[in-house]
Amino acid sequence: SDLDAFITGLPKAELHLHIEGSLEPEQMFEFAQRNGVAIPFASVEDVRAAYEFSNLQDFLDIYYAGADVLRTEADFRDLALAYFDRAAADGVVHAEIFFDPQTHTHRGVPFGVVANGLLAGMDEAQRKHGLTSKLILCFLRHLDEADAFRTLEQAQPWLDRIDGVGLDSSEMGHPPAKFERVFAAAGAMGLKRVAHAGEEGPPAYIHEALDLLQVDRLDHGNRALEDPALVARLARRGMTLTVCPLSNVKLCNVASVDVHPIDRMLKLGLRATVNSDDPAYFGGYIGENFRAIAQGRGLDRDQLATLARNSFLGSFLDDDAVAAHL
């Protein structure tokens, strides 16, 4: 339709994408076969049938299991390039992607294998599509502070190619406060800081992300809507929220796209953006997320353009590059 073409044609940045969450079932089988790794599924249909989640932890269990097929630099490169191919087809011209090094180093895959593979995919996407990208290292919050510090240490040789640190995995019971010192260290190294907060966790976790982690951007942030003073604070600061509509529905944090608060966020003056989170698991890439909320909430072209514009304003591109995209 016309609106589909309008959405695809909108230049956009993707700011919330876990590269391990772009592992499609077909590619899971391909990597399993070429690496001689056994997987507990008989077919691609079997894998897709297993993607029914009732909360974040349900999803994380299967997402970490799936990542076990990723072993070599070529795997990480191919994974990244497959994502960039799909993103480019959806009109993404810039992407700031998350990776979870601990998921791999804890299985014996060296940090450098992961980083070099992803960076090769990023370089190829720039050549092939003109798509620019940045890399954000996420600490797994269910692990402890010492493990996060070790991971930051392992990242040192690659810091010229890593733009920021993030915080993901099981939110409940793992408040931002747990990572205050490691985020301070990352900030002192000149890294940007982002954190998942208010996806499942309470507004207090969002306050902590702001006050203790000094985040430059907030991932999800949905539960800020329960706290009007917090909404006012985020709006006043022009804080970017990387909202993930299909993820919210698949993880049962929002009942359906028909009641998704994306337009309420805009009306409250929040700088909301639209992102895919883990598209291979949640049923769609960024274009699909835009189409789902456009239809579910009846968004007009102005609102869709605002969401796309917000993605550049909230990106870590320098001011000249942002201006060139607006």
- Least separation in angstroms between CB 314 and ligand ADE: 18
- Residues in contact with ligand ADE, counted by CB under 6 A, come to a total of 10
Contacts of 131 (CB under 8 A, 6+ apart): 84, 87, 88, 92, 93, 94, 95, 125
- Least separation in angstroms between CB 224 and ligand ADE: 16
Strands laid side by side in the 271-274 sheet: 12-14, 92-99, 132-140, 164-168, 192-197, 217-220, 240-243, 271-274
Q: Among 14, 199, 200, 208, which one carries the catalytic annotation? A: 199
Q: Which does 21 bind (CB under 5 to 8 A by kind): Zn ion, ligand ADE, none?
A: ligand ADE
| Sign of the four-CA dihedral 20, 22, 24, 30 | negative
**Residue 146 CB burial class (10 angstroms; 0-12, 13-18, ≥19):** exposed
Which 47-66 positions form the footprint of ligand ADE (CB under 6 A)?
56
Which 54-73 positions form the footprint of Zn ion (CB under 5 A)?
none
Among 257, 277, 290, 299, binds Zn ion (CB under 5 A): 277
Site map for ligand ADE, 190-229, x if CB under 6 A? ------x--x------------------------------
Among 14, 163, 277, 288, binds ligand ADE (CB under 6 A): 277
Query: Which is closer to ligand ADE, CB of 168 or CB of 208?
Result: 168
**52 labelled catalytic:** no
Closest CA to 248 of 209, 274, 229: 274
DSSP string, 160-206: GG--EEEEES--TT--GGGGHHHHHHHHHTT-EEEEEESSSS-HHHH
Among 75, 90, 168, 208, binds ligand ADE (CB under 6 A): 168
- Least separation in angstroms between CB 56 and ligand ADE: 6
Alpha-carbon distance values, 102 to 70, 111, 169, 195 (Å): 13, 8, 11, 16
Alpha-carbon distance values, 46 to 169, 181, 197 (Å): 25, 42, 32
By CB under 6 A, is residue 75 in contact with ligand ADE? Answer: no
Q: Which does 169 bind (CB under 5 to 8 A by kind): Zn ion, ligand ADE, none?
A: ligand ADE
- Least separation in angstroms between CB 257 and ligand ADE: 16
- Which residues are designated catalytic? 199
Chain residues binding ligand ADE by CB under 6 A are 18, 21, 56, 168-169, 196, 199, 247, 277-278
